[in-house]
Amino acid sequence: MPQTALDLTLDAAELTARLVDFPSPSGSEKDLADAIEAALRGLPHLTVDRLGNNVVARTNLGRAERVVLAGHIDTVPIADNPPNVPSRLDEDGILWGCGTCDMKSGVAVQLRIAQTVTEPNRDLTFVFYDNEEVAAHLNGLGHVAEAHPDWLAGDFAVLLEPTDGQVEGGCQGTLRVLLRTKGVRAHSARAWMGSNAIHAATPILTKLAAYEPRKPVVEGLEFHEGLNAVRIEGGVATNVIPDECTVTVNFRYAPDRSEEEALAFVRDYFADCGVDEFIVDDHTGPARPGLTHPAAAAFMAAVGGEARPKFGWTDVSRFSALGVPAVNFSPGDPLLAHKIDERVKASLIPEAEERLRSWLTS
Q: Strand 156-159 and strand 326-328: pairing?
A: parallel
Can you tell me the distance from the alpha carbon of 310 to that of 325, in angstroms, rounded to the nearest whole number?
14
The length of the chain in residues reads 362
Q: How many CA atoms lie within 13 A of 235 on its CB side?
A: 5
Q: Do 121 and 32 contact (CB within 8 A), yes or no?
A: no
Pick the catalytic residue: 74, 155, 244, 333?
74
Q: Do 290 and 157 contact (CB within 8 A), yes or no?
A: no
341 flagged as catalytic:
no
Q: Torsion angle, CA of 348/56/326/302, rounded to 10 degrees?
A: -40
Q: Chain-centre distance of CA 37, in angstroms?
A: 22
CA 1 vs CA 33, 79, 86: distances in Å: 15, 16, 9
Q: Do 349 and 172 contact (CB within 8 A), yes or no?
A: no
132 flagged as catalytic:
yes
Pick the catalytic residue: 29, 34, 130, 132?
132
Can you tell me the distance from the alpha carbon of 347 to that of 331, in angstroms, rounded to the nearest whole number?
9
Q: Torsion angle, CA of 232/237/243/245, rounded to 10 degrees?
A: 0
Q: At what angle do helices 12-20 and 348-361 cross, to 10 degrees?
A: 120
Q: Do 346 and 333 contact (CB within 8 A), yes or no?
A: no
3 state SS for 285-342:
CCECCCCCCHHHHHHHHHHCCCCEECCCCCCHHHHHHCCCCEEECCCCCHHHCCCCCC
CB atoms within 10 A of CB 158: 28
Q: Which positions are annotated as active-site residues? A: 74, 132
